Amino acid sequence: MTLHHEHGSAPRQSPGDVVISVRDLVVGFGEKLVMNGLNLDVYRGEVLGFVGGSGQGKSVLTRAILGLVPTRAGSIRIFGHERDKLPSKERKALEQRWGVLFQNGALFSGLTVKQNIQMPMRETRDLSQKLMDELAMLKIELVGLKPDAADKFPSELSGGMVKRAALARALALDPELVFLDEPTSGLDPIGAAEFDELIGTLQETLGLTVFMVTHDLDSLYSICDRIAALADGKVIAEGPLETLLRSDHPWLRAYFHGVRGGRLAAATAD
């Protein structure tokens, strides 16, 4: 396993380079508060790994950033814009600057891989079928699928291929930012490592900013530039892996210094 992903250039971290900025965010359902004054910055060109115990709100935060769950207080700025304050045309344009890989791929089962990838193009662009076919084949190649995957339906694909096809769809509109929700869940360790490598390569070659919710310690060690950890409705620690390894927060200690995490932590110290 490659420890620590070496980027061609380290992400710059000046305020102008903040792609996602969340401030004092409050999100709740009924009487239950899931986010309670959460702050988080994601910098241009980095892979940010977002971790937290089950049910702590990783998916809720992702969906709040995407505008899919209502917020009660605070602000979320993406590319410097507060989406909720934009007129609808500009909001739609903003939303086309990111791609999302939902957990389990979430491909349309009745459409082929090629048609799935073309869906966002069809919805937002006025392109000829020929051009969309060419673009879809480029995306298929980009994510490491063979050309013959194009005409397959999701049910005909392996788990790893579904993830790649879903990633190709997330990249359909050439986004600058991608959200990945547990991208390696359900993959075997080799498939997961290959998928991590693909994300790392795409991040480097396309200059993507990646917001990745993950439980996968290997992903954190191999491709994340920084990690943010969520507990009790707040980000309790944020920074490079070494910073999180030094934290004495009980959940982080259990997570990184438990049986599996401890093995990897020892490996990074070599």
- Binding footprint of ligand ATP on the chain (CB under 6 A): 29, 34, 52, 54-60
User: Which token pair is 144?
Assistant: 């490491």
CB of 16 to ligand ATP, least distance (A): 30
Give the residue with the Cβ less far from ligand ATP, 59 or 104.
59
User: Which token pair is 168?
Assistant: 């190709």
CB of 30 to ligand ATP, least distance (A): 7
Give the residue with the Cβ less far from ligand ATP, 60 or 199.
60
Give the residue with the Cβ less far from ligand ATP, 131 or 254.
254
CB of 183 to ligand ATP, least distance (A): 13
Determine contact, residues 83/90, Cβ cutoff 8 Å.
Answer: no
Give the residue with the Cβ less far from ligand ATP, 54 or 88.
54
Look up residue 155 and give its DSSP letter. G
Give the residue with the Cβ less far from ligand ATP, 60 or 149.
60
Residue 238's nearest CA partner among 65, 48, 57 is 48
Give the residue with the Cβ less far from ligand ATP, 21 or 214.
214
CB of 64 to ligand ATP, least distance (A): 9
CB of 57 to ligand ATP, least distance (A): 4
Give the residue with the Cβ less far from ligand ATP, 57 or 200.
57
Please name the residues in contact with 43: beta carbons below 8 A apart, sequence gap of 6 or more.
11, 12, 13, 17, 18, 19, 209, 226
Cα angle 37, 40, 43 (rounded to 5 degrees) comes to: 165
Q: Tell me the backbone φ, ψ of residue 68, rounded to 5 degrees.
A: -100, -10
Give the residue with the Cβ less far from ligand ATP, 60 or 245.
60
Q: How far apart are CA 34 and CA 246, in angstroms?
A: 26
Q: Tell me the backbone φ, ψ of residue 171, rounded to 5 degrees.
A: -95, 5
CB of 167 to ligand ATP, least distance (A): 19
Cα angle 14, 20, 26 (rounded to 5 degrees) comes to: 125
CB of 73 to ligand ATP, least distance (A): 17
Residues pairing with 20 in the sheet = 42, 78
Q: How far apart are CA 259 and CA 266, in angstroms?
A: 11
User: Which token pair is 57?
Assistant: 């709100």
The burial of 87, by beta-carbon neighbours within 10 Å (0-12 exposed, 13-18 middle, 19 or more buried), is given as exposed
CB of 248 to ligand ATP, least distance (A): 22
